[in-house]
Amino acid sequence: MPHALVIQVAVPAPLGRTLDYLPPDSGEQPAPGMRVRVPFGRRHVVGVVTGSDTRARVDGGRLRCIQELLDDTPILPPDVLELGLWAAAYYHHPPGEVLAGMLPTPLRKGRPARRRAADCWQLTRTGQACDPEQLRRRAPRQAAVIERLVENPEGLPTAALANLDGNWRNALRTLHAQGLVTPAVPSVSAPRAGSAPTLNAAQCAAAVRIVASLGNFTAHLLEGVTGSGKTEVYLAAMDAVVERGEQVLVLVPEIGLTPQLIERFNARVPGRLAVLHSGLAEGERQAAWLAAADGDVDVLIGTRSALFTPLPRPGLIIVDEEHDTSLKQQDGFRYHARDLAAVRARNLGVPLVLGSATPSLESLHNAVTGRYQLLDLPRRAGAAHPPRLELVDVRGQPLEAGVSRLVLARMDQHLDSGGQVLLFLNRRGYAPVLLCHDCGWVAGCPRCDARLTWHRHARRLRCHHCGHERGVDRHCLDCGSTDLRDVGQGTEKLEQALNKRFPDAGVIRIDRDSTRRRGAISDLLGRARDGGGRILLGTQMLAKGHDLPGISLVAILDCDQGLFGADFRAPERMAQLVTQVAGRAGRRERPGEVLLQTHHPEHPLLEVLLRDGYARVARTMLAQRREAALPPHTHLALIRAEAVDAEAPSAYLAAVREAGESLADPKVLLMGPVPAPMERRAGRYRAQLLLQAATRPPLQELLGRMSPRMQDLPGARRVRWSIDVDPQEMF
């Protein structure tokens, strides 16, 4: 029997491994990273080739042929393919789903990966520096093309070159090959050179360390207080990378929430810039992705999935606001973009920069143990001073829509002296509870263990967990009484109270409800910056690094939730949120003041946070985590199950636990199953099983042996289950 070539293909299906196929009848050679169309059950699907081998014996009756090759060169280069397969193994997620998820949607569906022939051109930075006169004698047509492009910095359509004499197409091709011109892609903008401030000593030192590490893997943690000028450090490092002819990848949490950051990059990035995020149309997204993969982008900025973009000349990876939870995907393929960025940077041999004013305890731990280099920006840039934090003890105090007299008085002072005020309340809607005064009934969600929030303006009761909504009840559903009252406050009620108390100040509310329209957040922040509203109030959307120069007073109305949360990360999140919100105050010459309302002024965490700041409190929490054997000192995985039937999830997880224990690894502790903190959500009961180990290898090994068996355990078909490695949320 002749030797046969067998091709491994990752197909987008819930399979823990790749499938074997025979090469296509056409005789073409599929290479790793190429997309292929393959028969799968009764359907045909688009898969990605991951490898091949020759076998002496192949059961020809069982193996099917690849039907069609969709690429003639690998769409996923080796490093990206390797990253995807590594991530699939680490997160115990089906490799075919991981690889499919790395591609822009049209490519995932099997559309051709060809870029439309470039019909618009512009100069690169090298091209801009090139003097056409010097070229004129040697290459007159190239000089003519450059001259035309100089006159049209935003890009010139190919058709507009057609009236040049001679073979201008050849000239254009040569200039492209030399890196002097580049196709102008709709979502790629031309190099700019906005003026940069002179870096201060700390910024300079940080930039120098990063630049010195170019060409090698080093992970840097840029810990810079709010307003210390981290973005300027990124820009300086980018300059050096682009100068070397290499590409920079920048991951940011949520582009929609930080329009200003993108504007700033747009004005300053020294090379061709593309932005990748979910707000783009499919075609735009694919164009930017392919341009980056072809090397026609110098700086790519994107949200977490941009991490998987192929880059032929990678030079540096930056993760901004590395503590932000949106870098972790919370469903499906539950990966952490920050952690995978470290893996990719190491594989590529390029430096990684993680930046934050409030680093995650994971990254801080890596810095403290010397695995990451710590770059410290301890002071604000320019003339700005750190804000002054003060606790406001509200025990027994009268509150007006949740605001104490002291805060109101300070607001008066700041508004009178021309300042702007920011109030932070992390609860949207009018009131979080609607209560019957006669019998104590509260309006609850029929699908969750949760209360409905009253949205007064919309005249709806809404569940913030499952999206259920209904009209506002007029009668108690238990006793029929009409005496229904609202309890507690949301941003809507606060807005109403502020408008009444400060009728001339102009109140701007920023939360998910007020920013549904595209561009709304830009408009509202713009109005706040222009002084069109002097009181800004909102939820955690306000904690996202906005630069609001006029804010002189910040009041955080309720930070107590974070002190007693069920999740062991609650205090860390609270400290990050408070510090980020506080960081909006006093970003220019005017000194800033921050007030924290609390019922627990003696709480030790608040005390340390106020006295010594985030850097200190984070190190205190890190020590507490060690005592409690919690991450980052130990490693966790969470197996979740949910079902409409109340008993099924726990029963299934009990079977999982039993299977796990039979594989007996004493180094891994199995805890549970227990009901999730909110047991019923969106009509399903949920339970979880926690795995903990002091080091990663035994945990990974156990999961690797358990996961292939989980689908066959008793009860597996009655639940939806998932594995979450390094879970960020414990519900």
Chain position whose Cβ is nearest to ligand ADP:
229
Inter-residue contact 9 to 48 (CB < 8 Å): yes
In the list ligand ADP, Zn ion, none, the entry touching 522 (Cβ below 5 to 8 angstroms by class) is: none
Nearer to ligand ADP, 274 or 384 (CB): 384
Say if residues 110 and 100 touch (Cβ distance below 8 Å): no
**Cβ atoms within 10 Å, residue 121:** 23
Instruction: Measure the CA–CA gap between 620 and 626, rounded to whole angstroms.
Output: 10
Q: DSSP letter at 22?
A: B
Residues 6+ positions from 485 with CB-CB distance below 8 Å: 434, 435, 436, 437
Helix 614-627 to helix 361-368 angle (10° resolution) is 90
Binding site for ligand ADP (CB under 6 A): 197-200, 203, 224, 226-232, 381-382, 547
Residue closer to ligand ADP (CB basis): 197 or 532? 197
Q: What share of the chain is helix, strand, coil (3-state, %, to 5)?
A: 35, 25, 40
Nearer to ligand ADP, 177 or 383 (CB): 383
- Closest to ligand ADP by CB, 232 vs 324, is 232
By C-alpha distance, which of 34, 69, 93 is closest to 335?
93
Closest CA to 59 of 18, 8, 20, 9: 20
Cβ neighbours of residue 50 under 8 Å, at least 6 residues apart?
A: 8, 9, 10, 18, 32, 81, 85, 95, 99
Indicate the length of the chain as a whole number. 731
Instruction: Single out the residue of 186, 381, 359, 203 nearest to residue 286, CA to CA.
Output: 186
Work out how close the CB of 234 gets to ligand ADP at its nearest, in angstroms, rounded to a whole number. 8
Q: Which is nearer to ligand ADP, 267 or 694 (CB)?
A: 267
CB of 509 to Zn ion, least distance (A): 24
Instruction: Work out whether strand 156-157 and strand 247-251 pair parallel, antiparallel, or are unpaired.
Output: unpaired
List C-alpha distances in Å: 61 to 28, 57, 58, 565.
21, 12, 9, 58
Q: How far is the CB of 448 from Zn ion (least distance, A)?
A: 3
For residue 382, the partner it binds in ligand ADP, Zn ion, none, with Cβ less than 5 to 8 A by kind, is ligand ADP
| Shorter beta-carbon distance to ligand ADP: residue 529 or 720 | 529
Cβ nearer to ligand ADP, comparing 462 with 584: 584
Q: Between 76 and 199, whose beta carbon lies closer to ligand ADP?
A: 199
Residue 233 CB, nearest approach to ligand ADP (Å): 8
Instruction: Give min distance, CB of 206 to ligand ADP, in A.
Output: 11
Task: Provide the minimum distance between the beta carbon of 273 and ligand ADP in the complex, in angstroms, as a whole number.
Answer: 17
Kindly state the smallest distance separating residue 556's Cβ from ligand ADP, in Å.
Answer: 18
Cβ closer to ligand ADP: 231 or 491? 231
Q: Shortest gap between Cβ of 467 and Zn ion (angstroms)?
A: 7
What would the DSSP string read from start to end of 485-522? EEES--HHHHHHHHHHHSTTT-EEEESTTTT-STTHHH
- DSSP assignment letter at 540: G
Shortest distance, position 680 Cβ to Zn ion, whole Å: 9
Contact set with Zn ion (CB under 5 A)? 436, 438-439, 441, 445, 447-448, 463, 465-466, 468, 476, 478-479, 481
